[in-house]
Amino acid sequence: MSGLDTKKDRELLKKAQAGDMRAFEALYHAYQPRIYRVLYGIVGNAPDAADLTQETFVRAFGELERLRSDGNLYGWLRKTAYHLGIDQLRRRKVVAMVSIDSSMENEDGEPFVLEIADKHQDLQSQLEMESAHDALQKAVCHLSVDHRAVVVMHYMEEMSVEEIAVVLEVPIGTVKSRLSRARDVLRERLLPYI
């Protein structure tokens, strides 16, 4: 999940910078699902994620001339999205419930599903797993905005600590500290399920 994924994307960015709206629209369609997924993970609801996805691309359009066609467009979009999502949460000052396996999609547009229960388990085991899944969702939602952001970036987006530090514009040690603290909080809240 690095910058521009293909030569075609680089060519589209150059065309968009030259004023070709179809090229920008093609880039939007290529990156919109990924940016939406990032924002959904941060804000926890579809309407806000959709609005912030649009805002991310509006900002990208406004910055087209300054973006390097050989640069990391996805990285820029992702960083902008994270900041918009975190700002939204801070303004709201309400913790939203994030359903880890609800209407999110992977990069291929297929539903993103995290299956916890084995299909061969008995009903009692499945109910226990569903209860643990609900507890995980609640625990993630109770994390602070900063801790929640690093959890989403690290575990959902599979970003390295170094990449997170760049996106959040904080030292690597701060990211490591936030991840460690978030894991401690999650472990404490989920102790009955471990």
pLDDT reported for residue 58: 92
User: What is the predicted pLDDT for the residue at 110?
Assistant: 54
Q: What's residue 175's pLDDT? A: 94
How high is the pLDDT of residue 189? 81
Mean pLDDT, contiguous 10-residue spans, the chain (194 residues): 64 88 92 90 86 93 78 83 87 52 50 44 54 68 84 83 90 94 86 69
In sequence order, what are the residues at sequence separation of 6 or more whose Cβ sits closer than 8 angstroms to the Cβ of residue 57? 28, 32, 35, 77
Q: Is 111 strand, coil or helix? A: strand
Name the pTM for this structure.
0.61
> Which of the listed CATH numbers 3.40.50.12280, 2.60.40.10, 3.30.390.10, 1.10.10.10 matches domain 123-193?
1.10.10.10
pLDDT score, position 170: 92
In CATH, the architecture of 7-92 is: Orthogonal Bundle (1.10)
Tell me the C-alpha to C-alpha distance, in Å, between residue 102 and each of 132, 163, 187: 16, 26, 23
Report d(CA 36, CA 44) in Å as an integer. 11
Residue 111: which residues within 8 A CB-CB, separation 6 or more?
103, 104, 105
Which residue ranges make up each domain of the chain? 7-92, 123-193
The two three-digit tokens of residue 172, written as one number: 């690597």
What local confidence, expressed as pLDDT, does residue 1 receive? 40
Q: How far is CA 181 from CA 105, 147, 168, in A?
A: 28, 8, 17
Q: Return the pLDDT at 128.
A: 58
pLDDT for residue 12: 87
Locus of tokens 């090229």: 23
The reported pLDDT for the residue numbered 192 is 72
